[in-house]
Amino acid sequence: MPIEAKSKTTSVMGSEDIPFCPFCNGCNGKISILKIALICAIMVTDKANQQKEGGIVETEPNRQGEAYEKILSQSASLDDILIQVAQNIGLHTHQFTQQEIEEARGNLSPMNDRVAMVTFSNNKNNHIITGTVNALRKIHSAPMIAPITQTWLQELSLPDVLGRGMIADMISEGWQINVATELQKGSHADFAVRGTLSSSNVMRRQLKAGDDFSEAPTTIGVYILGFNLPELSDEKMFVSRIVRANYDSGKHFLADQYSDYYIELDKLSSWTKADLPKQYHELYDICLILNTKIKDQEDVIKMNAVQSPLALDLAREARSAVAPDDFMSDTLRRERGLIEIQAFLERNKRAGIAEGEIKGEIKGMEIMIITALKNNAAPALIEALQTSAGVSDVRLAELRAQV
């Protein structure tokens, strides 16, 4: 839209004051043509500095960006993505030092996706899942479950890991029992909804419409979180059992068959074993090990008198998972690959913001050109503004037509 000048005055310096300023309020709605030229020069200098310093204008080589776009669009699994990224940046042949491997090994815990995968894959530690569920059930005197016989680890995606902090997503089955287990490290604002839906999906895992629902298995959700749920902010205990109940009477409804347990590991530090009733002790030991780095396990076990056979089994299995140097090198490669992808996505985000800012700058410069044209500015200044804004001769003609 053409900008209409309401008045013209002659300044002391002899330049014409233009009664419109698209950039600031400090000039009381007026900006001189000399000021336009000054702003133009500053913007040109800033843009050159951004390019020189590797700023938002040149964020990354096109070829690398194209390679990552291809990897992300064509790779279905997180593992495929990280392997290809590692190859792209030459990490697949990189040899980590023994010090790097030992430091990384010590800093892992069962609340790590790779450790959880090795610990619970191939059904080798179903007894830990069974025992953890029964440790939860013991707290509320609920019936114990039959042994888990089969566990499936769901394949994680890049959005799972980056967006949700997912560590493990497991479905376990035994005789007349289904268990949904999820380990989440990063905060997830809507996890209460996710947990409820996950349990509902597992309820009907073996059932279809028309089946005999008297044979429906007991279904339990176990959600182990490295953050606190907003919905449980008033609860001091680190574990909460969620059941269905009659709204008016509060009487439980099928609670022994269907219930969800939310374990908030952040709340564990507010308790010692001595503070808790005896029926909580085994679960407390298990949660301590889940939340402890490999390098700190021995001290934590001694200081807290961890005696639960299940908790000690979990500690041994976690140490066993991270023992091979090849596993640690592979884990480090995936970690570096994930960091690379995170950096790439962040650069893309910044580039998108920068593109919007640059478009805003160009629009502002075009307004200045129109304003200068309306006030019969010198051709040299028009040319300078045109060059700064990257405006073509065709576009300049279009701007002239708006005056």
Secondary structure (3-state) at 347: helix
> What integer pLDDT is reported at residue 357 of this predicted model?
62
Show the DSSP H helices in 272-324 as ranges. Answer: 281-290, 297-303, 309-322
Q: pTM for the whole thing?
A: 0.68
Taking CA atoms, 159 is separated from 68, 118, 145, 218, 336, in Å, by 15, 21, 33, 31, 17
> What integer pLDDT is reported at residue 94 of this predicted model?
73
> What integer pLDDT is reported at residue 302 of this predicted model?
95
Show the DSSP H helices in 141-190 as ranges. Answer: 158-159
C-alpha–C-alpha distance, residues 124 and 113, integer Å = 17
Query: What residues have CB less than 8 Å from 185, skipping those under 6 apart?
Result: 111, 165, 166, 167, 226, 227
> What integer pLDDT is reported at residue 353 of this predicted model?
65
In percent, the amount of the chain with pLDDT more than 90 equals 40
Output 148 or 18, whichever has higher pLDDT: 148
> What integer pLDDT is reported at residue 314 of this predicted model?
97
Say whether pLDDT at 75 is over 70: no
> What integer pLDDT is reported at residue 275 of this predicted model?
93
Least confident residue range of 49-63, 97-111, 136-150, 161-175:
49-63
CB atoms inside a 10 Å sphere around CB 140: 14
Query: In 3-state terms, the chain is what percent helix, strand and coil (to 5)?
Result: 55, 15, 30
Give tens-digit pLDDT for 85-121. 777 766 666 788 999 999 999 999 999 988 999 999 9
If phi > 0 it is left, if psi is from -120 to 50 it is alpha, else beta; for residue 29 that is: left
Taking CA atoms, 152 is separated from 163, 173, 270, 336, 377, in Å, by 22, 9, 33, 27, 74
Query: What residues have CB less than 8 Å from 266, skipping those under 6 apart?
Result: 225, 226, 227, 228
> What integer pLDDT is reported at residue 305 of this predicted model?
94
Q: What is the DSSP string of 89-113?
A: TTGGGPPPPHHHHHHHHHH--SSSH
C-alpha–C-alpha distance, residues 158 and 76, integer Å = 9
Say whether pLDDT at 44 is over 70: no
Least confident residue range of 88-97, 138-147, 257-266:
88-97
Give tens-digit pLDDT for 270-306. 999 999 999 999 999 999 999 999 999 999 999 999 9
